[in-house]
Structure 1
Amino acid sequence: MPGRASWTAMSEMTQSFDVVVIGGGAAGLSGALMLGRARRSVLVIDGGDPRNAPAAGVHGFLGHDGLAPAALLEAGRAEVRGYGVEVVDGRVSAAAPVDGGFAVDLEDGRRFGARRLLVATGLADELPDVDGLRERWGRDVLHCPYCHGWEVRDEPLGVLGTGQWSFHQVLLLRQWSADLTLFLHTAPAPTDEQAEQLRARGIAVVAGEVAAIETVDDRISGVRMGSGELVPRKALAVLTRLVARTAPLAGLGLRAVPDAHGIGERIEADATGRTTVPGVWVAGNVGDLMAQVVGAADQGARAGAMINADLVEEDTRDAVAAYRGTPVGAARE
């Protein structure tokens, strides 16, 4: 692992930090909080477009249930700043190794240096191409019943089929409502076993592709089929394709790989968030597509602690080298 950046590389940067955190959601801010409390110099760079922005509240996060996503992030920013962490608004255009660490470039031309990186850029939801679906996303078009199922309990609900996992989703959603319809759309026809399970749970199945989502008074009123039929529903669940946000990180050598469950692409990392690229950790949905907010926060805190431990090892090697009269950095070659 390279050590501190050389003077030449550092002189080209606006400022350098022990750790730069790319992404200021629950995962990134939790990592920054842990590192700030460890008295590390930390910069959080946030693009301001959290995945859960359309949602009315964060759920399943003990002590914060129902809190607006923006309020959670505002409180998190205030907390990390209390420990000396710097938070800047901006979008990363590129990140790459330099002599002694990493350089992180922003779209506005600023460049920051870091000894270590924590990537918490989250993921993007790729929705099926159905008219009206995107406009209702995060409101009454839902993804996770644990996050939003309570809010639509006992309503007439639908599941938009996109693949085999849609059968699991519709059976799961049955816990929240007995009035449930599976719209096959692009999902395969159910097997005999699946069809029996659906009938046993009283779940209706509608074949054919969905053409549009209809609304009345700013709320879903029904699902319009390609045949023209309108099936009244109050909310719709859909499994999106989940893709880690990695476009600006290609220079680091980080590449998204298919998730083992076939639901999208993520960055591979170990249980602590350490990636295959030395000096780079990930936390949250960028490495764990199914993590909820509370899980992302936990991963950020864990990665922050591991990054600090890694820096402690490096600081100790440098201190021993200096104590012995060896030039700093030589012990790492």
Structure 2
Amino acid sequence: MNDSVYDVVVGGAGAAGLNAALVLGRARRRVAVVDAGEPRNAPAAHMQGFLSRDGMPPGDLLTAGRAEVARYGVSMIKGWVEDITHGFFVRLAGGATLKARRVLVATGLHDEVPAIPGVRERWGRDVLHCPYCHGYEVRDQPIGVIGNPHGSPGFSVHQTLLLTQWSDDVVFFPHTLELVEQEREKITALGVRINEGEVERLVTDSDRLRGVQLGGGRVAPRSAVFVGPRFVPHDALLTSLGCARSENGWVSTDPTGRTSVFGVWAAGNVTDPRAQVITAAGMGSAAAIAINVSLLDEDADRAVEAYRSAGQHYPTALEWGKWQAIQAVLANRGHAF
């Protein structure tokens, strides 16, 4: 086991984990980030909607982020966190163990898509799920939406209605999703065509999506398809620690990312499936500040205990002011208490 103790160990180096590490590193905390290098948005060529980073390849953002946190002495460890035990002992794949005073879990989620040939293969390219992320790039093109009964309730219908903002040529393929009459009416009223029948596969040519094939070999020409996945959080590290879940089944946190377990925070898609890259980065920053305050409170309590054990009395206002002045001088010399 590594005898050194980190102030914070961060599991996951996406936008949430790296931004947290950046804030904590700048606060001069001892931080380690553990990541396997398999981000959820790796299949996407670009990310959108991030002010000053719009259109940047997601891999470039992470590369820049790792370089930035390294400037502040943050340790980047490639690997998997297999287990976290109360204490906190963070065990990595391969046997190494890190000791931490606080932990931040930012391990994200994975998208579980329908088992339709072509969907997984073209995921993040011309098979998409977020209109806000990719709608503008496929504007005015023939767009299809495939219903997914195993995704978030109502998400496929919402996708369909939303995509009419980007194209006048939207076709909804219910696939195995049962529409209620009110949903069917809304879709039709916005000019979306409904193409009944189960989807057999996606048709491609020259490494480009060409259409959606239904039963009997019928092919509806489409150049982009949206599918609402089932979001599955990578939250085993949190649940094994006993972190409480909310009514929606996801691990619950306060606005700073603090879980129900002392010393454990979570940020990004592991607790919020709707968090985009820019949102996840903000969640990481909020968590980092809260973690630093928690550590500061603990440091202050320990300092008070040490002060008392040395036989000191509670100082008067004048004595306290003198002590602070001395500490400031010593800090400049690198010898502060």
In the superposition, the TM-score normalised over structure 2's length comes to 0.88
Change (3 A) 1:14 1:133: farther
Partner of 1:134, secondary structure, is coil
Report the Cα offset of residue 58 of structure 1: 1.3
Report the Cα offset of residue 226 of structure 1: 2.7
- Equivalent residue letter for 2:288: G
Report the Cα offset of residue 168 of structure 1: 1.1
Of 135, 139, 161, which residue of structure 1 is paired with 2:125?
139
Q: Are 2:10 and 1:26 aligned?
A: no
Report the Cα offset of residue 189 of structure 1: 2.2
Structure 1 stretches (4+) deviating beyond 6 angstroms?
none
Quick check: 2:238–2:251 contact (8 Å CA) kept in 1?
Answer: no
- Equivalent residue letter for 2:305: A
- Equivalent residue letter for 1:276: S
> Alignment RMSD, CA only?
1.6
| In 2, Cα distance between equivalents of 1:228 and 1:256 | 45
Give the structure 2 partner of residue 113 of structure 1.
99
CA shift digits 1:216-243 (9 cap, x unpaired): 1111111111332111111110110101
Report the Cα offset of residue 304 of structure 1: 0.2
Quick check: 2:203–2:212 contact (8 Å CA) kept in 1?
Answer: yes
Give the structure 2 partner of residue 211 of structure 1.
200
Change (3 A) 1:309 1:298: same
| In 1, Cα distance between equivalents of 2:122 and 2:243 | 32
Quick check: 1:185–1:209 contact (8 Å CA) kept in 2?
Answer: yes
| In 2, Cα distance between equivalents of 1:272 and 1:44 | 19
Give the structure 2 partner of residue 166 of structure 1.
156
| In 1, Cα distance between equivalents of 2:218 and 2:86 | 56
CA shift digits 1:299-323 (9 cap, x unpaired): 0000000000000000000000110
Report the Cα offset of residue 95 of structure 1: 1.1
Quick check: 1:266–1:289 contact (8 Å CA) kept in 2?
Answer: no
Identity value in percent: 51
Count matched residues: 307
Report the Cα offset of residue 110 of structure 1: 1.1
Give the structure 2 partner of residue 330 of structure 1.
none
Give the structure 2 partner of residue 331 of structure 1.
none
Quick check: 1:157–1:181 contact (8 Å CA) kept in 2?
Answer: yes
CA shift digits 1:97-153 (9 cap, x unpaired): 13xxx1111112211010000110000101111111100001111110111111111
- Equivalent residue letter for 2:241: L
| In 2, Cα distance between equivalents of 1:124 and 1:177 | 28
Report the Cα offset of residue 256 of structure 1: 5.9
| In 2, Cα distance between equivalents of 1:233 and 1:115 | 53
Report the Cα offset of residue 255 of structure 1: 6.3
- Equivalent residue letter for 2:257: G
CA shift digits 1:257-282 (9 cap, x unpaired): 663xxxxx532111110001110001
| In 2, Cα distance between equivalents of 1:79 and 1:35 | 12
Give the structure 2 partner of residue 97 of structure 1.
86
CA shift digits 1:32-60 (9 cap, x unpaired): 11101111000000111100000001110
Q: Are 2:213 and 1:224 aligned?
A: yes
Larger mean Cα displacement after TM superposition, 249-258 or 55-64: 249-258
Quick check: 2:244–2:260 contact (8 Å CA) kept in 1?
Answer: no
Q: Are 2:73 and 1:84 aligned?
A: yes
Partner of 2:89, secondary structure, is strand
Quick check: 1:15–1:111 contact (8 Å CA) kept in 2?
Answer: no
Report the Cα offset of residue 186 of structure 1: 2.2
Change (3 A) 1:18 1:212: same
Give the structure 1 partner of residue 231 of structure 2.
242
Give the structure 2 partner of residue 277 of structure 1.
261
In the superposition, the TM-score normalised over structure 1's length comes to 0.89
Give the structure 1 partner of residue 61 of structure 2.
72
| In 1, Cα distance between equivalents of 2:218 and 2:245 | 40
Q: Are 2:171 and 1:185 aligned?
A: no
Quick check: 1:246–1:256 contact (8 Å CA) kept in 2?
Answer: no
Unaligned runs of 5+ in 1: 1-11, 260-264, 328-333
Unaligned runs of 5+ in 2: 312-337
| In 2, Cα distance between equivalents of 1:182 and 1:126 | 20
Change (3 A) 1:256 1:92: farther
- Equivalent residue letter for 1:175: Q
Quick check: 1:244–1:256 contact (8 Å CA) kept in 2?
Answer: no
| In 1, Cα distance between equivalents of 2:46 and 2:245 | 29
